[in-house]
Structure 1
Amino acid sequence: MPRYPFNAILSRFRGGSLGSTSSPEFTPRAVLLGLLIGCLLCFTNLYFGLQTGWISMMSLQSAIIGFLISKLLAIQITPQENVVVQTTAVATGTMPLAAGFVGIIPALGLLDEQKDGSHPVSLSWISAVGWSCAIAYFGVFMSPPIRKRVIVEEELAFPSGTATAQVISVLHGMPSTGSGLRSRHGYSPLDQQDEETSPSPDIAGDSQDPGSQTSEFTQNHAWFSLLWSFLVSSMLTLMAYFFPVIFALPLFGDYLARNWLWTFTPSLSYIGQGIIMGFPTTLSMNLGMLVGWGFLSPLSKYHNWAPGPVGDMTTGARGWILWISLAIMSSDSLVALIPTAWEYARKLVAHAGHGLDHDSEVETGDRLVPTKWVLWGIACSTAAGILLVWLVFGNEGIKPWATLLSFGLGALLSILGVRALGETDINPVSGLGKISQLLFAVIQPGNVVANIIAGGVAEAGAQQAGDLMQDLKTGHLVQASPRAQFYGQLIGSTLSIPVTVTAFVLYNRAYTIPGPTFPVPMAYVWLSLARLLRDGSLPEKSAIFMLSSAVVFSLISAFKTHATKRGSWYAKWIPSGVAFAIGFLNTPSFSLARLVGGVVEHIYHTSRGGSRGKVGGDIRLIVVASGFVLGEGVMSIGCLLLRTCGVGVASCWGCDFGMCGGCPT
């Protein structure tokens, strides 16, 4: 690393770049903007993750919002600074999943001594911080060593990262980022725009006329679209706090709502998520909902396989179909990883056979993360992680040698996760965690706590390595410094630890977790698999349905993977096993709301009056969806404060009919 004189460091702190002399990149304003957006995303992702088990990376949305805020503050950020903004925001916003607060931590709190041989594990604030620090950095150091292989040499698509680069290019008036730019469904390539409306200033983005179409949209529509969508979603969320029945409408009649949980939640945030996910994903989710809640749930109830209340996660139909969901999710993830692992092994052998190739790196050394940093980072984060996990859980939780093994396994699995993400835009972190659970059932049999922790380490490594690699793809196309992004990731992850832990503690104090407002479905997935691997006990008649579902979705996953690799147009319409399984885990209300968003996205992009091919129109849809998501996420903080201060609901009408909508009283 070059040594900078004090004055040079000070000038860079005031707005210059670190590791670049051509244009600002790693600057305080970029980092602070990313941290601000990331903290909002952190609360938002924790809120939605505890509800449904699904969080959003939001890299593309963070880039747009960062750009809009910079315009509001009259700050001229460069495209490279915008990359740092979204990298920092993503690192801060995804910690609830990486550190396991939407699944692993609640699962440990659900332990039963009679069933699991361990008391419930409830972490204090400082213990939760220690656990988060143990797994917050390992995945970050795993990304730089494989960046050149998957991004520079193999040029894997990383569709969301590429789409983010495309949008940043449009916003800042950059020329096309090259023929290698591939867009996610719903976003048109830059080279398809008319030359008259396509901007072509220098790469630093300093032009005063960045293209009439984008400029007009940014100045006249963006903030208005973000503001009204944010406010409407916020107000609806506040109304639902005081009148909970608003989020539990008996769309299909009182009987189905009361007895079978068929309600509709007109949440704009879930509609916004559906827009972001796209119609194919939301369709898969709702197909799963129909099979799980429309067929298997009544079947298990009527045959007395699940005699408890339908919504009970232990004895009810919801707990019974959870096992089928687990089988689908595991089989889909494992089968999808097989070709990735095979291809990676084949290329490693071929590369070793040809000896050392010429250096294909396109960046200079001062812009890359030094190998020394990577080696020291992996060694120190592993050693610190082992120590912290031992201090938090003790020998009865997981032994140090087992923790070391889980980090090694996490390193291997994170490479597979990165490659799967680069090829399919899906990081199968849940499947990778389950692989680790399966192996630890052999390594430490009967230890449910160790099983869950080992899965959490693998999931954290794959999640963070994938997040940073997706961002590095964006930076590669926009010509941003990998070192600057690495700094942003480290800073975002560090700040997110106390923010995530504090938010979880506040939610846990104000609400019952799991409970009506936060059912935490992913916690039951983690715990159910750990219990199955411990004693092999399954609910009545669930085994045959699990086996048949696993076989069916193994075949579907193989077909979908093959079609995707061939670039077949119908690949996106083949059901996603993970999305299908999420339809089982969540009550119909959430899936239906997401389907509305998916239909809106589909109609918007297929109707003759839609804006396909017009980047300004695409960005407008993203902005509106982001406003919907952030509106409820931010207002959830306000509702949390109301709840903490003892402010209750205004009316419990509907609760007598079993439609409380997660009423906090």
Structure 2
Amino acid sequence: MSQPAAVPQLTVRAVVLSVVLAMILAAANTYLGLFAGLTIATAIPAAVVSMAVLRLLGGGSILENNIVQTGASAGSSIAAGVIFTIPALIILEYWQDFRYSWVLAIAGLGGLLGVLFSVPLRRTMIVEEPLAFPEGKAAAEVLKAGENPGPGVKILAMAGALGAFVKLAAESGMRLIPDTAAGGAFFGKWIGYIGTNLSPALLGVGYIVGLNVGIVVLSGSILSWHIAIPAYYAWFQDSDPTFAARLATMTDATPIAFAIWSAKVRYLGVGAMLIGGVWTLFSLRKSLLSGIRSGIAAARKGTNADVPETERDLPMKWMLIALVIFVLPLGALYQAIVGNWAVSIPMTIIMIVAGFLFVSVSGYLAGLVGSSNNPVSGITIATILFASLVLMLLLGKASTIGPVAAIMIGAVVCCAAAVGGDNLQDLKAGYLVGATPWKQQVMLAIGAFSCALVMAPVLNLLAAAYGIGAPTPEHPNSLAAPQAMLMASVARGLFGGDLPWTMIGLGAVVGAFVIALDEWLKSRKSSFRVPVLGAAIGIYLPLELMVPIFLGGLLAHVVERYHGVVNGSEEDKDRVHRPGTLFSAGLITGEALTGILIAIPIVVSQRADVLSVGLHLGMWVGLGVLAFTGWLLYRVATKPHSEGTPPLATPNRH
């Protein structure tokens, strides 16, 4: 702990800068998560920007920069908690739009509960029995090595401008280039489809996640689009005469392939994700129990007021008061949904118990494997499954409000778990640089609630401009929202919904095979692994989204070969990837923010082509732009650079 506690930390300028960055990065992650099913960690890009901005304002201490990255990191956790669950209420047709007060209550109060539940875990998980918290350590190293943030900011700005320009030129903007380069064809009684999205952001996502994950997600898509869809078209159309009659009205291969994927094959991914979520929790059962025990033990101990400033948490009595204050509005929200206190009170109890237990679990897993690999979606599935079973006993299997009530519980728990794991990562970084814990906890609470303030407007804007969920005639290229679609399918299916259970069952078998393959690779101590949730996402999403992710991962592998660290340590790989990962983060942020800005004139004018310039340069120009982006990323990643250029944490692969 290198800094005295007297150094300014929770300053006005640090709070303002943190809130601004948190809102911006939350909006960007909302777009990215709905589009590609992934979010990126925001703490380290925020730290780089903070160091540059505070330097322009006369210089900032390491503890001020730590406060900024602490609050800004809420951008990814709140966005993940919201987009994994709340769009399910639109998909279930319970809402027609995102209600501001309800989204604010779920996201804001859920995030605040995540902060409160994680406070008593700090002493146990960080001080007494310290866990690794790899991303917290990385953030601390960035802060310590932040004497020259200029190169990192330049990389972020250059890549952000490029990502913004390409998004503006694409179909939702000036329509100079298409969003995808794709095509389908018939081969006798078979059907084929191939294509790639032209998004620089997806290329950046692929670079950050690496080749292993890129191969896994693309393999899932190949199974879906090159095996399951052709097989269904050739042999199994007659199993559903109504759907077969619908296909008979189509003449082009591409819409037929998408119709089969939308109505049938993507549910293979649902089955694989369900079995994957259950397996993830089962395989980590010892760690989960340890996390729960740590949380209960820490809560019993309370906090000691006679401790140094660098060890002082929020007072326990004020936490308990805040807990009651935050829970009461959520209980009232649940009552407004079901209209029965005999149901809303158990809902509130489930939310509190599941929230504390899963924040403990999330914190423990973040300490073991990092927030990026924390299976928050698996935790949320488990919450929705348990809540649905309890609600079925209270409301009946035929209840129409049951799925909505289960999603509402899962949404609060998901936000709390995502924020809780993220909070402990930040507290680990603060512990290593000598920060005051209670000041970080206050800043994360401010950051989380600030992000919640913008979530509903951003979601409504994106829904109006692009659509969310399954494609419709009005929004043929809607944002897929894969996790929310999954949560809606689980909740609706348990309450007697009409789902293709055969496909879901086959998907579960596929997931079990992937799990067995991964366990075999693990037993052989292979460096290549097959995470089942990654494969399931590949099955569930369109092929063209996975291709650029694979290409980005392949590019990262080429960079490793260039630097000679393919078989090197993780530290060596992190070092050589620092410029490339910053460039990738810039591509993602620039494209995502531009996508949100473009939505404004579309919604105001009620015209999807409002920005069109009447000139279409075609698919090959779009492919050329993607190739140029990849070449530029390679040049930045292989150019000699300062050792001070900070690393970037990997994305939140929930």
What is the identity, as a one-letter code, of the residue corresponding to 2:424?
M
Q: TM-score, normalised by structure 1?
A: 0.77
Classify the secondary structure of the residue corresponding to 2:258.
Answer: coil
Question: Aligned pair in 2 of structure 1 residues 255, 363: CA closer, same or farther (>3 Å)?
Answer: farther
Classify the secondary structure of the residue corresponding to 2:166.
Answer: helix
User: How many Å separate the matches in 2 of 1:237 and 1:597?
Assistant: 18
* 2:8–2:64 Cα contact (<8 Å) kept: yes
Classify the secondary structure of the residue corresponding to 1:262.
Answer: strand
Give aligned pairs, total.
574
User: How many Å separate the matches in 2 of 1:537 and 1:503?
Assistant: 31
Of the three residues 363, 368, 378, the one matched with 1:423 is 368
**How many percent of aligned residue pairs carry the same amino acid?**
22
Query: Counterpart in 1 of 2:433?
Result: 478
Query: Counterpart in 2 of 1:107?
Result: 88
Query: Counterpart in 1 of 2:205?
Result: 273
Question: Aligned pair in 2 of structure 1 residues 479, 413: CA closer, same or farther (>3 Å)?
Answer: same
Q: Does 1:83 align with 2:83?
A: no
Structure 1 portions without partners, runs of 5+: 1-18, 113-118, 173-214, 660-665
* 1:40–1:633 Cα contact (<8 Å) kept: no
Q: Give the superposition deviation at 1:322.
A: 3.3
User: How many Å separate the matches in 2 of 1:544 and 1:493?
Assistant: 38
Query: Counterpart in 1 of 2:612?
Result: 649
What is the identity, as a one-letter code, of the residue corresponding to 1:111?
L
Deviations 1:364-422 (A, max 9, x none): 37742222222222232222321234346644996233222222122112211221221
* 1:328–1:550 Cα contact (<8 Å) kept: yes
What is the identity, as a one-letter code, of the residue corresponding to 2:287?
T
What is the identity, as a one-letter code, of the residue corresponding to 1:87?
T
Q: Does 1:283 align with 2:215?
A: yes
User: How many Å separate the matches in 1 of 2:97 and 2:573?
Assistant: 51
Classify the secondary structure of the residue corresponding to 1:94.
Answer: helix
Q: Give the superposition deviation at 1:59.
A: 1.8
Q: Which moved more, 1:284-293 or 1:322-331?
A: 322-331
Query: Counterpart in 2 of 1:511?
Result: 466
Query: Counterpart in 2 of 1:595?
Result: 550
Q: Which moved more, 1:128-137 or 1:73-82?
A: 128-137
* 2:511–2:536 Cα contact (<8 Å) kept: no
Q: Give the superposition deviation at 1:342.
A: 4.1
Q: Does 1:137 align with 2:112?
A: yes
* 1:298–1:317 Cα contact (<8 Å) kept: no
Q: Give the superposition deviation at 1:234.
A: 0.9
Q: Does 1:581 align with 2:513?
A: no
Of the three residues 637, 649, 657, the one matched with 2:596 is 637
Query: Counterpart in 1 of 2:386?
Result: 439
Query: Counterpart in 1 of 2:165?
Result: 235
What is the identity, as a one-letter code, of the residue corresponding to 1:42?
A
What is the identity, as a one-letter code, of the residue corresponding to 2:412?
V
User: How many Å separate the matches in 2 of 1:578 and 1:123?
Assistant: 28
User: How many Å separate the matches in 2 of 1:595 and 1:444?
Assistant: 41
What is the identity, as a one-letter code, of the residue corresponding to 1:296?
A
* 1:25–1:84 Cα contact (<8 Å) kept: yes
Greater RCO between the two (CA within 8 Å, min separation 6)?
A: 2
Deviations 1:461-489 (A, max 9, x none): 21111111111111112222211211111
Classify the secondary structure of the residue corresponding to 2:145.
Answer: helix
User: How many Å separate the matches in 1 of 2:611 and 2:384?
Assistant: 41
Q: Give the superposition deviation at 1:163.
A: 1.5
* 1:137–1:490 Cα contact (<8 Å) kept: yes
> 5 Å matches for 1:389-408?
389-391=334-336, 394-395=339-340, 399-408=344-353
Query: Counterpart in 2 of 1:381?
Result: 326
Q: Does 1:155 align with 2:118?
A: no
Measured on the aligned residues, the alpha-carbon RMSD in Å equals: 3.7
User: How many Å separate the matches in 2 of 1:536 and 1:392?
Assistant: 19
User: How many Å separate the matches in 2 of 1:314 and 1:268?
Assistant: 25
Classify the secondary structure of the residue corresponding to 1:242.
Answer: coil
Deviations 1:418-464 (A, max 9, x none): 21221122221111111112212321113211222222222122111
User: How many Å separate the matches in 2 of 1:28 and 1:455?
Assistant: 35
Query: Counterpart in 2 of 1:27?
Result: 11
Query: Counterpart in 2 of 1:541?
Result: 502
What is the identity, as a one-letter code, of the residue corresponding to 1:390?
Q
User: How many Å separate the matches in 1 of 2:593 and 2:307?
Assistant: 41
User: How many Å separate the matches in 2 of 1:138 and 1:590?
Assistant: 34
Classify the secondary structure of the residue corresponding to 2:86.
Answer: helix
Question: Aligned pair in 2 of structure 1 residues 444, 655: CA closer, same or farther (>3 Å)?
Answer: farther
User: How many Å separate the matches in 2 of 1:358 and 1:493?
Assistant: 23
Deviations 1:237-280 (A, max 9, x none): 10012227532112xx5539997663212211112222222333
User: How many Å separate the matches in 2 of 1:619 and 1:314?
Assistant: 38
Query: Counterpart in 2 of 1:58?
Result: 42
* 2:367–2:425 Cα contact (<8 Å) kept: yes
What is the identity, as a one-letter code, of the residue corresponding to 1:578?
L
User: How many Å separate the matches in 2 of 1:328 and 1:256?
Assistant: 34
* 2:387–2:406 Cα contact (<8 Å) kept: yes
* 1:336–1:558 Cα contact (<8 Å) kept: no
Classify the secondary structure of the residue corresponding to 2:495.
Answer: helix
User: How many Å separate the matches in 2 of 1:131 and 1:157?
Assistant: 31
Q: Which moved more, 1:608-617 or 1:543-552?
A: 608-617
Question: Aligned pair in 2 of structure 1 residues 345, 70: CA closer, same or farther (>3 Å)?
Answer: closer
Question: Aligned pair in 2 of structure 1 residues 609, 346: CA closer, same or farther (>3 Å)?
Answer: closer
Deviations 1:528-580 (A, max 9, x none): 111222227542632542342343344456668x77xxxx9735x21112222
User: How many Å separate the matches in 2 of 1:645 and 1:557?
Assistant: 49
Question: Aligned pair in 2 of structure 1 residues 358, 30: CA closer, same or farther (>3 Å)?
Answer: closer
* 2:303–2:313 Cα contact (<8 Å) kept: no
Question: Aligned pair in 2 of structure 1 residues 336, 87: CA closer, same or farther (>3 Å)?
Answer: farther
Query: Counterpart in 2 of 1:523?
Result: 484
Classify the secondary structure of the residue corresponding to 2:284.
Answer: helix
Classify the secondary structure of the residue corresponding to 1:513.
Answer: coil
User: How many Å separate the matches in 1 of 2:307 and 2:548?
Assistant: 45
User: How many Å separate the matches in 2 of 1:291 and 1:533?
Assistant: 27
Q: Does 1:620 align with 2:579?
A: yes
Question: Aligned pair in 2 of structure 1 residues 295, 653: CA closer, same or farther (>3 Å)?
Answer: farther
Q: Does 1:338 align with 2:285?
A: yes
Q: Give the superposition deviation at 1:329.
A: 3.1
Q: Give the superposition deviation at 1:343.
A: 4.1
Q: Give the superposition deviation at 1:146.
A: 0.7
Deviations 1:64-83 (A, max 9, x none): 22223334x24311221111
Structure 2 portions without partners, runs of 5+: 248-255, 472-476, 623-654
Query: Counterpart in 2 of 1:146?
Result: 121
User: How many Å separate the matches in 2 of 1:75 and 1:270?
Assistant: 37
User: How many Å separate the matches in 2 of 1:313 and 1:141?
Assistant: 46
Query: Counterpart in 2 of 1:316?
Result: 263
* 1:418–1:466 Cα contact (<8 Å) kept: yes
User: How many Å separate the matches in 2 of 1:137 and 1:51?
Assistant: 26
* 2:104–2:453 Cα contact (<8 Å) kept: yes
User: How many Å separate the matches in 1 of 2:583 and 2:337?
Assistant: 42
What is the identity, as a one-letter code, of the residue corresponding to 2:546?
S
Question: Aligned pair in 2 of structure 1 residues 126, 294: CA closer, same or farther (>3 Å)?
Answer: same
Q: Does 1:171 align with 2:156?
A: no
User: How many Å separate the matches in 2 of 1:504 and 1:576?
Assistant: 30
User: How many Å separate the matches in 2 of 1:501 and 1:614?
Assistant: 38
* 1:45–1:94 Cα contact (<8 Å) kept: no
Classify the secondary structure of the residue corresponding to 1:598.
Answer: helix
Classify the secondary structure of the residue corresponding to 2:131.
Answer: coil
Q: Give the superposition deviation at 1:357.
A: 14
* 1:286–1:591 Cα contact (<8 Å) kept: yes
